[in-house]
Structure 1
Amino acid sequence: MFNFDGQLHPEESKILTHTNRGLRYGDALFETMRAVNGKLYFWEDHYLRLMASMRMLRMEIPMSFTMEFLEEEIQKTLRSKDLDKAPARVRLTVFRKDGGRYLPDNNDTSFLVEAETLEQPFYVLPGGDYEIELFKDYTLNADPLSTLKTANKLLNVVGSVFASENGYDNCLIINQHKHIVEALNGNLFVVHGNTIKTAPLEDGCLNGIIRKKLIELIGKLEDYELEESAVSPFELQKADELFITNSIMGIRPVTKYRKAEYGNKVAADLIGKLNAVARLG
C-alpha cells in the first residue's frame, strides 16, 4: 500500500497522470527517513527541512501540513504494510498539483508516502570493500537550490550509471569550482588525524539530516575537531578515513579511492554515538 493525499492505495494502482509536475519538471521535494517500530528517526529535522524547502520553492504549504498530521499519515502507511513493528524505509514526496507548464496553474500541493522494509533496526557499519571515484562528466552548481532534496537528480542518476559501468561502489560530485561536494547518495566526511572535515552548504552540498546530526555530535566531543570548508580532490589521497552519510544507512566507510586505502576507526566510533542520538531523538 501507498498513501496519496491521505488515501491508501494498492501498490499496483496507477494514480499519477501524464500531467504530473514531478514527472514533467521535477517540481517536487522528498524526504527519506528510517522508521523503527513506528518511531521516525529525526522526524522533526526532516519535517523542518521539508517546510523550509517548500518555502524556497514557493510551494503553497497547506494549513493541514502540521508535523502531527504528516506523521500520522506516515504511521497509517506503515500500519497498512505491517511495518509499524519493524524497521522500515519511508519516503515522503510533495509536489505541486497537476497543470500548467513552467508556471503552475495553481500552487496547491499533494503528498505521497511510500514504505518498504529494512533489514536492520539500527545503524550498522557495513564491512567489505567500498571503492569510489570522482564523477567529472558534469558538475553541480553551488547555489541554495542544490542543497535541497528535490526530485531533480539527473546528476546523481548519470553518476550512478557511470559508477556501475566502471565497477565503482559510489562516486563523488564536484562543483564548478572543482571542490568535492558530496557522494552520489549522501554527504562526505574526510578524516585527517583528529580533524573531521565536510563541505559547507555554500559549496552546494545537500543539507543532509545525518550531516547535521554528526556536526552537532562531533562539536560536543573533545577527541575531534570539526571543520566545514571546501574539500579539494588532492586531500583525499592524504586522508586517514572517508565516510559517506545519509538517513538510511547512517555511515558508510570508504575503503579505497584510486591508490589510497582507508581505515574506519573514527566511523566505527561515531556510528555507536549516532545510534544513541537516534534512539533518544
Structure 2
Amino acid sequence: MPANKTCRMPINFNGTVIDQMPPELVQVHRAVNYGDGLFETIRVFNGQIPLFERHWQRLSKNCQILGLLFPADWNARFFLDAILKIAAANARVRLSVWRAPGGLYRPAEDRANFLIEAALLEQTCFEWHPKGITVGIANGLRLPMDSVANCKTMNALRYVLAARQAGEQGWDDALLLNSSERICEASSSNVFWWKDSVLHTIPLAEGCVAGVMRQFLLDLAASVGYVVQEKPATFAILEQSDEIFLTNAIRGIVPIRNFAKKLKGSAKTHILFQELVRQICGVR
C-alpha cells in the first residue's frame, strides 16, 4: 500500500530537541532506519587497490539485487578515483551505498547515496599471525539462507552480537551457524579449512557473504595446483580438520589456533598466505 504523507516534527537526539532533522541525517535516514543498503570494506596497498575490480563486481551485483540505482557517471573509475582521493597510501576504506530518503518500508525511489570513509593503516601488506587466534561458536544466532544472504548489507546485528559474545568468552572471534544448524561464517570473515591436502570452504548456498577475498583465494589456490572443494561444514567437520583459517579483504588470511578448545596447525595455511602476499603485494 502507498506510504502516507507525513509532516515532519521536531526530533529528540540524546535528550536534545532539534527543530528540524539536519540535512545530513535526512540523507542517511533509510540506512539508519531500515538498514537499506550495502557496503564494501576495501584495502589500499601503496596507493593501489589490487582487488578493486572484484569489489566493484560484487557491489554492482548486490545493487541489482537490492534495486539500488546509480547515475550513469557513478562507474568503477568514478569510485576508484573517489577512494584514492581521500585514502592514505595504505588504508582501510569503507564504501557505503544506501537508498535515497523517502517512504517507509516501501521506498519512494531507488536512487542511491554513497559515503566513503578511510582509516590509515601502518602496514604496507597483509601480516601473518604466527600465534593464530581462538574462536568458538556463537550461541542463539542463526544466519538466513535467502536471496540477500550473500550480499554485504548494512544489516549487521547478528555479526555484532557474535563479536560481542566472542569478547565475553575471551575468544578472538565467533563462528555463526545458518538456519540449517551448519557453520556459515565468522563475524567478519569467511571460513576455510584443510583436510589432508584438500582446501575446503563453505558454499555460498549455505548463506555466507560472498567475500571478495574468499573468491580470490579459491581462484589463487586452484591456479597454483591445490585441490579445492566447496562443501557444507558442521562442527564435527571443523573439529576433525587439520587447519582452519579466516579470510577477508582487510586482513587477508588469519589462522585459527584454537577451535572450541582443540588446537590446530597452520603450516599449509602459511604457504598459501605467502602466495597471497606475492600476488597482492609483489613481495617475495
Does 1:233 find its partner at 2:235?
A: yes
Match of 2:58 in 1: 49
1:211 aligns to what SS in structure 2? helix
Conserved in 2, the CA contact under 8 Å of 1:124 and 1:271? no
Unpaired segments of 5 or more residues in structure 2? 1-21
Correspondence 1:93 to 2:96 = yes
In structure 1, the partner of 2:143 is 140
Greater shift, 48-57 or 132-141, is seen at 132-141
Residue matched to 1:115: 118
Query: Using the alignment, how far apart are the partners of 1:36 and 1:24 within structure 2?
Result: 34
Among candidates 156, 178, 184, match of residue 175 of structure 1: 178
Task: State the alpha-carbon separation in 1 of the partners of residues 210 and 264 from structure 2.
Answer: 25
TM alignment of 1:215-254, pairs within 5 A: 215-222=218-225, 224-254=226-256
Q: How far apart, in 1, do the equivalents of 2:62 and 2:27 lie? A: 25
Aligned counterpart in structure 2 of residue 16 of structure 1, from 8, 12, 25: 25
Larger radius of gyration: 2
Give the Cα–Cα distance (whole angstroms) in 2 for the partners of residues 208 and 151 of structure 1.
15
Match of 1:127 in 2: 130
Look up the SS of the partner of 1:235 in the other structure.
helix
Secondary structure in structure 2 of the residue aligned to 1:144: coil
Structure-1-length-normalised TM-score: 0.89
Distance 1:194 1:14, change over 3 A: farther
Structure 2 vs 1, CA of residues 39 and 19 (structure 1 numbering), >3 Å: closer, same or farther? closer
Q: Separation in 1 of the partners of 2:146 and 2:210?
A: 12
**Residue-pair matches, total:** 261
Residue-by-residue CA offset, 1:33-59 (whole Å, 9 max, x unaligned):
110222013000000100000000011
Alignment partners' CA distance in 2, 1:211 and 1:153: 19
Which one of 54, 68, 84 corresponds to residue 59 of structure 1?
Answer: 68
Aligned partners of 2:243 and 2:152: how far apart in 1? 26
**Structure 1 residues 67, 257: CA separation in 2 closer, same or farther (over 3 Å shift)?**
same
State the match for 1:275 in structure 2: 277
The 8 Å contact of residues 45 and 209 in structure 1, kept in 2 or not, is answered as yes
8 A Cα contact 2:142 2:178, kept in partner: yes
